[in-house]
């Protein structure tokens, strides 16, 4: 191994904190991108930190706001026919899938 465990943890900390990217770390420390990624994972696991997710955009937040505004109250649903209720259920499921995709990307 080229680096000690402490050095690998330090490299991982720098990547996890956003100080440097995995690609920049690979270049600086003369390691592969995958190795830099593993160092970050090592740091994360040793310190019991959560995985970092992709950034959410304002478009994601605006779609959530739109869906929240479109939700209807109970009285509206009670006055609907069976077909209308099924249509609302389909819309809700579609919205749910879109939200999952937006946050998993």
Q: In angstroms, rounded to a whole number, what is the distance separating the alpha carbons of residues 42 and 12? A: 7
Instruction: Provide the residue ranges of all domains of the chain, joining segments of one domain with +.
Output: 5-46, 58-104
pLDDT in tens, 41-84: 999 999 998 887 655 444 555 555 555 545 567 778 788 888 98
Determine if the pTM surpasses 0.75.
Answer: no
Task: Report the Cα–Cα distance between both ends of the chain, in Å, rounded.
Answer: 34
Q: What is the pLDDT of residue 52?
A: 75
What is residue 50's predicted lDDT score, i.e. its pLDDT? Answer: 86
Asked if 67 contacts 91 with a C-beta cutoff of 8 angstroms, the reply is no
Give the per-residue pLDDT at 8: 94
User: Nearest Cα to 19, choosing from 50, 40, 46?
Assistant: 40
**Residue 2: per-residue pLDDT:** 83
Q: How far apart are CA 20 and CA 14, in angstroms?
A: 6
Share of the chain above pLDDT 70, in %: 79
Give the C-alpha separation, 95 to 7, whole Å: 45
Within its chain, how far is the Cα of 30 from the centroid?
A: 29
């Amino acid at each position: 191994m080229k680096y000690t465990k402490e050095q690998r943890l330090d490299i991982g900390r720098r990547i996890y904190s956003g100080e440097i990217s995995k690609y920049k770390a690979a270049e600086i420390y003369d390691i592969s991108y995958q190795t830099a990624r593993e160092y970050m994972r090592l740091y994360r696991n040793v310190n019991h930190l959560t995985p970092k997710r992709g950034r959410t955009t304002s478009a994601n937040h605006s779609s959530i706001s739109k869906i929240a505004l479109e939700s209807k109250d109970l009285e509206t649903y009670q006055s609907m026919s069976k077909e209308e209720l099924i249509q609302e259920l389909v819309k809700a499921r579609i919205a749910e899938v879109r939200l999952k995709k937006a946050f998993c990307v």
